[in-house]
A and B are shown apart, each in its own frame.
Chain A
Amino acid sequence: MTYDAIVIGAGMSGLAAGIRLAMFDKRVLIIEKHSIPGGLNSYYQRRNFDRGGIRQFDVGLHALTNFIKKGEKGKPFSKLLKQLRLSYDDFKLCPQSYSAIRFPGTELRFSNDFELLRSEISAKFPQDIDGFNLLVEKVRAFNELDLSLGYTSSREVLRGILKDELLAEMLLCPLLIYGSAWEDDMDFAQFVIMFKSLYFEGFSRPEGGVRTILGLLMTKLQELGAEVRFKTTVSEILVKNGEAVGVVAGGEEIRAPVVFSSIGFPETAVLAPSLDARPRVGAMTFLESIFVFDRKIPLSSNEATIVFSNNSQTYAYRPAQNYFDAVSAVVCFPDNYEPHVRDGEGTVRVTYMANYQQWKELERSRYLEMKEKVGESALALVKSLVPGLAEKPLFTDVFSPLTIERYTGHFNGTVYGSTDKTRDGRTPVKNLFVIGTDQGFLGIVGAMLSGISMANLHGLMGEAKQGQ
């Protein structure tokens, strides 16, 4: 069987790349190991034993970053809509109320109106408002899409601009935990991407969660005639004379002159033995606890959509020392996206940093015990954030780095991929390109834009050149 292009992985980047290629009449095959799309942003369901029926959960989605209002132009999300030819309304975006970065004694709120954050900083860090405004100008002027940039430490840049280290720590916290593959620091280009997508633009959630996005992408692919094969594992990327010529998937040899891999750079390298690179596996992996309550939780006591909580003056973004790190957490109240529907069950999600190696070494019964501990700790945190919440959850689910590894195929359960980003998607093997997290764009919107821009650059523009 021969195609014009093969895409490995039906996550956000793979689906978006597939759409772009199929839009211009390429015969595209997307190969996905699992039975459903989404990759790191997939979904699952659990039977509701108490009440009958099932409960649906998103795997990763706390927030869709890069929020825009309808009609806003020149932003990543508007580019995405144009490139995939999707309509704004189809995403049914529900904006956040606001989110909060909470360190001992200090809280900074931000929302989809950037001026909230500026006024918070002006009130709480008056000595640093000029520095902050400088930083904002620097971020605004920075071209983070320049694919040729090298690594610059964000902490160093911040030290040069801000006087109060606490402010730097607080600003970094959401940006690191929502996207950094690097421990404790991030590349300034990535800082800029995250700063724009979280603080300038903000959060929303599609009504229906990640399924809404995946449904749109899958429908588009179908309309364009692209083929998606689920439950099919790629066991080898075929390389001939240093050039990718196809894959072996489900025991079958499938040929194509170009292969896009969204499964991660280290994971891709292993499939192509002649690929002369051993990208590092990122260390950052997480635990997620999901609680379902009998009622919508927030009430008036907590209206924040997402709380970035850190119980220390400094923000340690690194693998937990002891299975999980309860000093720091992200707590997401999905019911606090607009419109605040107040009837029905309520959900709260808590993310902790984890330590893959320690979880890997646990034997089964200890593993389950430890997951229970995580759940208890997370529940105590939720209760501390929501005064008056006394009841027990109807349902609790905790997933670990091992769960992430099992379902995403990412080595060591890493969520933000390798610390070796390819930037322009190129690998030492010709016509084999990396898309998604390990290309270097972040978040759901970033992943889709990665698929789009890599498909444009290596699948369409190259082709246009050959057509001369």
Chain B
Amino acid sequence: MADVRQIVIDIISDIAPDEDVSSIDDAKSLREQLDLDSMDFLDIVMELRKRHKVEVPQEDYPKLASLQSCVAYLGPKFAAAPV
């Protein structure tokens, strides 16, 4: 099973290289802890699609709010995705 948490962190470090991703609180919203705006969330979605063929429709963007919710939401998608 893919390590969804690490996948999301890898993407964040690529799209926002100045952010410190080592001490993120999984339960707290990413926006509260990092300088991420809606453009960055679009990039997370686009990278998930580009790198892992995982689709996140626009109305589901709020489900990427925290690392915890990312894992909960993306976990089943990764499990179902062709690897």
Contacts and interface: CB of A to CB of B under 8 A. Distances in A.
Interface of A: 23-25, 71, 73-74, 78-79, 82-83, 85, 87, 452-453, 456, 460-461, 464-465, 467-468
Given A24-B46, A464-B49, A83 B39 contact: yes
Interface stretch (B2-10, B55-63, B64-72, B73-81): B55-63
Interface string B31-61: 0000101011011011001100001111000
B20 to A, nearest CB: 12
Contacts, number: 46
A59 B40 CA distance: 33
Contact of A82 (B16, B45, B49, B58): B16
Given A82-B15, A467-B55, A468-B57, A461 B42 contact: yes
Interface residues of B toward A: which range? 10 to 19
A73 B50 contact: no
Q: Is the interface of B mostly helix, strand, loop or mixed?
A: helix
10 contacts: A73-B18, A74-B37, A82-B16, A82-B40, A83-B43, A456-B42, A464-B46, A464-B57, A465-B58, A468-B55
B62 to A, nearest CB: 15
Contacts of B43: 82-83
Contact of B18 (A23, A71, A460): A71
Contacts of A73: 18, 35
Contacts of A87: 17
Contacts of A79: 37, 39
B39 A82 contact: yes
Contacts of A467: 49, 55, 57
Given A24-B46, A467-B55, 7 more contacts: A74-B35, A79-B39, A85-B14, A452-B39, A456-B42, A460-B46, A465-B57
Contacts of B37: 74, 79
A82 B45 CA distance: 15
Contacts of B42: 456, 460-461, 464
Top 6 A-B residue pairs of the complex, sorted by shortest distance between their CB atoms: A73-B35, A468-B57, A24-B46, A467-B55, A74-B35, A456-B42
